[in-house]
Amino acid sequence: MKKFFHYILMAALIGGVIPFTSCSDDDETINEWNLSYISLLPVDYLKPLTTEFNLTHSEGIGIEGKVDFQFIAVASKPVDQDIAVDIEVTTDLPVSTNKIALSSQKAVIKAGQKQSEPITLSITDWSELINVKAAAEYFLKINMKSINSNAQGVTVSDFNKGFAFTVKKAAEKPKQDVLVTTPKEWIFTFMDGVENPGANTVAGTGSNDVATNGVPFWLTVDFKSVKTISGIQTQHWANMYAPTKVELFTSDNGSSWKSIGVFETSSYLQTIKFNQRIDTRFLKYQMIDVPGRVDITRFSVYMYQ
């Protein structure tokens, strides 16, 4: 019978109307009909509650994702005096308590009101979790610790006393050699005499190829910061317009160059992989052997990221 009353009270809590009154205006007896039941609800309690937070973990980047949740303390009917609800957060997350941000330790329902101001729980700093390389799962709970009030007939509801969440961290994803084409973010410089140096697909500034009539040409790329690279890929209109031998260079300043090596090439799509990863800001591509007409339509780089 008691749970039946509580179901009715919870419906009234959400709908904002208590459908029952005391049997007598003179009856001061506190019973299940006139108690004020205190609960915790999400701020947007009409939407399904998200109980899982997911974190990604990537080598060189770290852990990304956040815990962000807003909730309120709610009374089943307006209270005649302020009610302060002490909030308790428990978790097995290996993070310091000062990194678990709670906007308030108390949810206060003001006299004459039915709900408190929203409280926000937030965790965004995962620096202490960085050494956990494997996938991991943790619990996070928010509960009412106690109620402080001089009001009569205030009690904790049997329902919605708190929230239980799961925080899942994915296993660390190692860096990989990824083929990157971001021409508008890089600075290309072309040898004097090439066709379409300012409006070409290589640098992303146009729809034309960079080409010459049988003259080996070079280009340089400024990545704007030091990158770890492991190879390149060039694309040409067709096999007959592609070079058959090229040399690659690196530089720290864009003027003094160090050779990576000379490479035999073929096909309209040419991939050159290095024996080891190289850190450089500048890269130079120099054609050596070319056909009667040679071009480049795309220049991509394998980067360790």
Question: Residue 162 pairs with which residues in a beta bridge?
Answer: 143
Contacts of 61 (CB under 8 A, 6+ apart): none
- 73-100 pLDDT, tens digit per residue, is 999 988 889 999 999 999 999 999 999 9
- Considering all CA atoms of the chain, what is the largest pairwise distance in Å, rounded to the nearest integer? 107
Per-residue pLDDT at 100? 96
Question: Residue 53 pairs with which residues in a beta bridge?
Answer: 167
Contacts of 131 (CB under 8 A, 6+ apart): none
Contacts of 283 (CB under 8 A, 6+ apart): 220, 221, 223, 229, 232, 248, 249, 250, 251, 301
Mean pLDDT by 10 residues, the chain (305 residues): 41 41 42 82 92 94 95 92 95 95 96 95 96 97 92 87 97 92 95 97 96 98 97 98 98 97 97 96 98 98 93
Dihedral of the alpha carbons of 168, 174, 175, 177, in degrees to the nearest 10: -120
For residue 287, the Cα-to-chain-centroid distance in whole angstroms is: 42
For residue 54, the Cα-to-chain-centroid distance in whole angstroms is: 9
